[in-house]
Amino acid sequence: MPYLTVGEENSDAIDVYFEDHGFGRPVVLIHGYPLSGTAWEKQVPVLLDQGYRVITYDRRGFGRSSQPATGYEYDTFAADLNMLMSALDVRDAVLVGHSMGTGEVTRYLSSYGSARVDRAVFVAPLMPYLLKTTDNPDGVDGTLFDGIMQNIKTDRYAYLAMFLTQFYNRGMRGARPVSDELYRANWYVAAGASPIGTLACVTAWLTDFRADLAAIDVPSLIVQGDADQILPYEATGKRFHEKMPGSRLVCLSNAPHGLPWTHADELNHELLTFMK
């Protein structure tokens, strides 16, 4: 299995697991919390069939990557992505992030520029700034995140079950059903992630990306559902689009946070159209 060493922790290497398939223009898919690169199951074969080179990887602490005790913030996440892009000599790439992965796309472009990137896709984004503050009144109240962190500390496994229910809007009117088998498979991936990383990533969600947005100088597509229970559309995708002149916004009716699975056909259509 392919791994890239991105750092060290005491006597151990910090390795990031990745997969690199196909030929042609590269598409780098960056997964959301608390899953892994396997979350792109409904996108990878479609992109390969259309002649793209498809690269997925597991964020440090998740999936098959190492689980260090540090590095769960966006400067490090972006540095890991930069090392992968450089090691694979990726050029003219399309960066596609979902949820937490949109933070990597944003901070990567802000920190390392767009020399290797042709365009960017943000699916259910974190941007521009999730936390409600005096200068960001449209954000989300911080007590919500305090509660999430406490729930993870108290019973991470129970929290993940609740999170995935909201991730797919399970049981909500108008939601597209997902199987119990998918739900269990996602839970096992999430439960196998680093407990330290699972908790620390909540703080990473509150990163202020407003200063990074000016560095996004490539064509950009934003796709989000208006029924997103994890990252409310009004506070994220809609505002992000307003602060990104020239970006394209696609709002999917009744789509949940986990739309790469539930609304795969719609997302794949938008991806392929945008990349052409």
Q: What is the pLDDT of residues 77-88, one digit of tens each?
A: 999 999 999 999
* CATH code (residue 49): 3.40.50.1820
What whole-number percentage of the chain has pLDDT above 90?
97
Mean pLDDT of the chain: 97
Residue 1 has pLDDT above 70, yes or no: no
Catalytic one of 58, 80, 212, 228: 228
31 catalytic? Reply is no
Three-state DSSP at 128 gives coil
Residue 174 has pLDDT above 90, yes or no: no
Cβ proximity of 86 and 94 under 8 Å: no
Return the pLDDT at 173. Answer: 85
The CA distances from residue 258 to 65, 71, 86, 132, 228, in Å, are: 22, 25, 29, 24, 8
Of 43, 162, 163, nearest to 100 (Cα)?
Answer: 163
Q: How far apart are CA 48 and CA 136, in angstroms?
A: 41
The answer to whether the bond into 68 is cis (omega within 30° of 0) is: no
98 catalytic? Reply is no
Q: What is the pLDDT of residues 235-246, one digit of tens each?
A: 999 999 999 999
Q: What is the pLDDT of residues 14-69, one digit of tens each?
A: 999 999 999 999 999 999 999 999 999 999 999 999 999 999 999 999 999 999 99
Ramachandran angles phi, psi of 6, nearest 5°: -110, 0
Ramachandran angles phi, psi of 238, nearest 5°: -65, -45
Q: What is the pLDDT of residues 86-137, one digit of tens each?
A: 999 999 999 999 999 999 999 999 999 999 999 999 999 999 999 999 999 9
Of 60, 47, 3, nearest to 21 (Cα)?
Answer: 47
Three-state DSSP at 6 gives strand
66 catalytic? Reply is no
Q: Rounded mean pLDDT of 162-189?
A: 95
Q: In total, how many domains does the chain have?
A: 1
Q: Rounded mean pLDDT of 172-193?
A: 95
- Provide the token pair at 14: 């910090």
What residue numbers bound the domain in which 10 lies? 3-275
pLDDT band at 163; cut points 50, 70, 90: very high
Catalytic one of 36, 65, 66, 99: 99
